[in-house]
Amino acid sequence: MGTADDEVLMGLRKAWPTAFIFNPGGQIGPHESTREQGERWLANGADLISYGRAYLANPDLVERFRLDLPLVSTDRETWFQTPHGYVDYPSYQH
Ligand SMILES: Cc1cc2nc3c(=O)[nH]c(=O)nc-3n(C[C@H](O)[C@H](O)[C@H](O)COP(=O)(O)O)c2cc1C
């Protein structure tokens, strides 16, 4: 804990009466939300963690987390244009 954002979010967690879905990245910043951030917020009382960029590039994100597989980064050059970059990243090739 420690930052002002953490305090606000802990307050929201306590005040929120139902399922609390948390995105560790918040507003889009330079770094994608990570598994470690998600786990930290699960420990802080979140019910579900949402991922944006990590899910775009890793359609099997949960499986990758479960098996500790490497993640692919999304290519921001493909955002807001065509389906390319949204629907065609492959699952991990075992
Ligand atoms: C391609 C793309 C489109 C997005 N569109 C929206 C949007 O329409 N509205 C919104 O509130 N956030 C939007 N976001 C931001 C995400 O909801 C999320 O807050 C942000 O990506 C941080 O989470 P992440 O680190 O898991 O990616 C978008 C993000 C990406 C990468």
* pLDDT tens readout for residues 75-84: 999 999 999 9
Q: Is the pLDDT of residue 1 over 70?
A: no
What's the average model confidence in pLDDT over 42-67? Answer: 96
pTM: 0.89
DSSP state of 77: G
The alpha carbon of 53 and the centre of ligand 1 are apart by a number of angstroms equal to 7
Which amino acid residue places its CA nearest to atom 8 of ligand 1? 80
pLDDT more than 70, % of the chain = 98
The ligand 1 atom nearest the CA atom of 56: 31
Where is pLDDT greater, at 79 or 4? 79
Burial class (CB in 10 A: 0-12, 13-18, 19+), 24: buried
Q: Domain coordinates of the chain in residue numbers?
A: 6-78
DSSP state of 17: -
Q: Is the pLDDT of residue 2 over 70?
A: no
Q: Which two tokens stand for residue 64?
A: 């990758």
Q: Is 28 in the pocket of ligand 1 (CB under 6 A)?
A: yes
Q: Which two tokens stand for residue 9?
A: 């979010």
Closest CA to 52 of 64, 34, 70: 34
Q: In whole angstroms, what is the distance from residue 5 CA to residue 78 CA?
A: 30
The answer to whether the beta carbons of residues 9 and 26 sit under 8 Å apart is no
